[in-house]
Amino acid sequence: KAGVTQTPRYLIKTRGQQVTLSCSPISGHRSVSWYQQTPGQGLQFLFEYFSETQRNKGNFPGRFSGRQFSNSRSEMNVSTLELGDSALYLCASSRDAGNTEAFFGQGTRLTVV
């Protein structure tokens, strides 16, 4: 059974650019959550999608957005990148919305220069 797949694994972007990260959940899982991990702030919740609907959002500026497609794949977008956006972005999938165990992908390491 394939796990959660995140692409790309590594990205280097320049300040002011935008970036799109992708997450394919485990087959049959309909909930996808995104987290940002930094040494200073730890693991912080970005947003969660279930059946193409955003059900919950963390305390991040509007530059951070996401969406989910009908096949449950999800993308997150960060516009006008800042140095502080450098982080490991983790995607988690679960079968239902907040009701079951969450499995994490390998993450996308974003570096903003």
Partner 1 sequence: ELKVEQNPLFLSMQEGKNYTIYCNYSTTSDRLYWYRQDPGKSLESLFVLLSNGAVKQEGRLMASLDTKARLSTLHITAAVHDLSATYFCAGHAGGTSYGKLTFGQGTILTVHP
Size of the site for partner 1 (CB under 8 A): 25
Whether the Cβ atoms of residue 51 and residue 57 lie closer than 8 Å to each other: no
Candidates 87, 90, 110, 112; binder of partner 1 (CB under 8 A) is 90
Where does this chain touch partner 1 (CB under 8 A) — which range of 16-24, 67-75, 79-87, 96-104?
Answer: 96-104
Question: Rounded to an integer, what distance in angstroms lies between the CA atom of residue 79 and that of residue 60?
Answer: 12
Q: Where are the beta strands (DSSP E) in the chain?
A: 5-7, 10-13, 19-24, 31-38, 42-50, 53-57, 64-68, 74-78, 87-94, 103-104, 108-112
Binding mask 18-57 for partner 1 (x = CB under 8 A): -------------xxx-x------xxxx--x-x----xx-
If one asks whether residue 95 binds partner 1 (CB under 8 A), the answer comes out as: no
Candidates 24, 68, 72, 94; binder of partner 1 (CB under 8 A) is 94
Tokens of 11: 């990205």
Measured from the Cβ of residue 34, the count of other Cβ atoms closer than 10 Å reads 25
- Using CB under 8 A as the criterion, which residues of the chain lie in contact with partner 1 when the complex forms? 31-33, 35, 42-45, 48, 50, 55-56, 58, 90, 92, 94, 97-98, 101-107
